[in-house]
Homo-oligomer: A and B are copies of this chain.
Amino acid sequence: MSVQLACASCGRALEPADRGRPRLYCSRACQARAYRARRAQTPARVPVSDDGARHLTVERIVRAGIVVADAEGLDALSMRRVAMELGTGTMSLYRHVASKDDLVTLMVEAAMADVPLPDSPPRNWRHGLERAACRDWELYHRHPWILSRVMVTTRAYFSPALAADSESAFSSFDGLGLESADAFRYMFMFASYVQGVALILVSDAEAERQSRIAAKQETQASGHAQDPLYEPGAYPRLARAMRAGADPWDLDALFVSGLAGVLDGIAADLTRRGIDV
């Protein structure tokens, strides 16, 4: 009398192999399911790359995703779109990427590596923060869509690239003998400002893309002409400010000017604590 064997995946009865080693699964499908379950434990994000050049790799997928997102925005990024970009089937991507969410996370990490962190120590804290702000600004210019993850990543997930960015900016305060909590407050204010401006930059980029699409479809866009802001009736201060030199926003100049203000605010607090530069 022999033991009744069961499929290791579905548990159904399993007739023993007629010769050779014993069977483990009742079907190829069950084998695949077992493999998938095993793989779920260790995501194996790094491809084995034993042969060195495979058709589909995480890197290629992530790069294709970045190309699409840069060109058409994060809204246009779909798994089918990425697959089309690579000339493969949609579901093939899922062998290398756990989900679309995972893909975007990887894209953000990769995109942030495009703009290098400063490697020399800053001359002083102000220089350090200005350098950090410039780096972020450059990042948001190149890849506006990363902001959608920066907002989510704040505390929910851990991102090496983001942590390295913060750490680098943090190092601006080295040697000032600052309390950690104070340095954190300064960083909070600084990062909030930068993110806030990035929000405007991103929505500007999106609006421009939208209007470009609209302009392509119908020749004349309704445009800025009858913008209610420009009628001085209801919102006089806003209208005046909009007209006074701020009409075609020079977002870069505004960013720099606001940044100077934020840094002045930090300087004032430092002075108040007697930690003058």
Interface residues of chain A, those whose CB is within 8 Å of chain B, are: 151-156, 158, 160, 163-164, 166-167, 170-171, 173-174, 179-181, 183-189, 191-197, 199-200, 202-204, 206-207, 210, 227-229, 234-238, 240-246, 249, 254, 257-258, 260-269
* Known interface pairs A188-B258, A192-B199, A195-B196; 18 further A-B residue pairs with C-beta atoms within 8 A, sorted by A's residue number: A151-B199, A151-B200, A151-B203, A155-B203, A156-B207, A166-B235, A167-B234, A167-B235, A170-B241, A173-B237, A180-B237, A180-B240, A181-B246, A184-B242, A191-B196, A192-B197, A264-B269, A265-B265
Decide if A183 touches B264 in the complex (CB within 8 Å).
no
Pick the 5 closest A-B CB pairs, nearest first. Answer: A196-B196, A192-B196, A261-B265, A189-B258, A265-B265
Decide if B203 touches A158 in the complex (CB within 8 Å).
no
A119 to B263, CA, bound (A): 32
A183 proximity list for chain B (CB < 8 A): 237, 241
A194 to B191, CA, bound (A): 11
Decide if A244 touches B179 in the complex (CB within 8 Å).
yes
Decide if A158 touches B258 in the complex (CB within 8 Å).
no
A236 to B265, CA, bound (A): 26
Decide if A158 touches B244 in the complex (CB within 8 Å).
no
Decide if B170 touches A237 in the complex (CB within 8 Å).
yes
A152 to B75, CA, bound (A): 13
Name the distance in Å between A4's Cβ and chain B's nearest Cβ.
34
Of chain B, the residue at the smallest CB distance from A166 is B238
Decide if A244 touches B189 in the complex (CB within 8 Å).
no
Name the distance in Å between A112's Cβ and chain B's nearest Cβ.
15
Decide if B262 touches A189 in the complex (CB within 8 Å).
yes
A245 to B128, CA, bound (A): 24
Decide if A263 touches B264 in the complex (CB within 8 Å).
no
Of chain B, the residue at the smallest CB distance from A262 is B265
A188 to B254, CA, bound (A): 7
Of chain B, the residue at the smallest CB distance from A261 is B265
A158 to B228, CA, bound (A): 7
Of chain B, the residue at the smallest CB distance from A173 is B237
Decide if B203 touches A237 in the complex (CB within 8 Å).
no
